[in-house]
Amino acid sequence: MSPDLSHIDTWLFDLDNTLYPEESGFMRQVESRMTAFVMKVTGLERDAAFALQKKYLAEHGLTLGGLMRHHGVEPADFHALFHDLSLDALAHDPELLVALARLPGRRLIFTNADDFHAERVLNHLGLTHLFDEVFHIHSFGFAPKPDPLGFLRMIEGHGLDPAATAFFEDSERNLKPAHDLGMTTVLVGPRASASEAPFVHHRTAHLTPFLNHARLRETA
């Protein structure tokens, strides 16, 4: 059945592993550099640094949150790690461009990354012109998804009506606050079909066909 999104006029998208497939492997580059940075900051061996990285992610929503709180890391130093990553793994997808362009209303990015990374990836994918704004980690004052405060700041900052907003994410846990606020939630990626979370309304392995088959509101 076609997903009914005819009540939606605001389209909210996570960036990494959502607007490009997880299978690209791009985020493995990000994760590897992050682990190396944790090793440098803490003096831990790689396995222990990786475990701490994941612990901070679970506890703070971001590895950066733990590094800031417990090690005095400056956000700018952390984000600079990823500003020269090769984007060769990310392929331009003309079909996705068409699918996004048919969505009526506003399209926004909601990412835990910084503005430089988001703009760089969107430009490489050829998607920049399709989005009205990027709500990034600095925009919501380092209250990262899934912190409800970040969602509230995003809603207030853009005057969103949660009941008319669809949120697309590859991270299941990031969809819960969106659901609790009244948004329609869509889990994207290879693990989506296995999700049984009651706060996930729709699940799809691939974003483009889901958007192409969705029922949208009619425009004049």
Which CATH superfamily includes the segment(s) 4-20+89-216? Answer: HAD superfamily/HAD-like (3.40.50.1000)
Give the model confidence (pLDDT) of 103-123 as tens digits: 999 999 999 999 999 999 999
pLDDT given at position 140: 85
- Looking at residue 61, its pLDDT comes to 86
* Total-model pTM: 0.95
Answer whether 191's CB lies under 8 Å from 173's CB.
no
pLDDT tens-digit readout, 16-43: 999 999 999 999 999 999 999 999 999 9
The full set of domain ranges for the chain reads 4-20+89-216, 26-82
Q: Is the pLDDT of residue 173 over 90?
A: yes
> For the residues 205-216, what does the mean pLDDT come to?
97
Identity of the amino acid at 84? D
Q: What is the tens place of the pLDDT at every residue in 78-97? A: 999 999 999 999 999 999 99
Average pLDDT of every residue of the chain: 95
> pLDDT digit string (tens) for 38-71?
999 999 999 999 999 999 999 988 999 999 999 9
Q: What is the DSSP string of 4-71?
A: EETT--EEEE--TTTSS-GGG-HHHHHHHHHHHHHHHHH---HHHHHHHHHHHHHHHSSHHHHHHHHH
Mean pLDDT within 133-147: 92
Placement of tokens 């869509």 in the chain: 186
Residues paired with residue 12 on neighbouring β-strands, in sequence order: 108, 167
Q: Which residue has the higher pLDDT, 218 or 211?
A: 211
- Domain 26-82 = CATH 1.10.150: yes
Average pLDDT over residues 73-82: 93
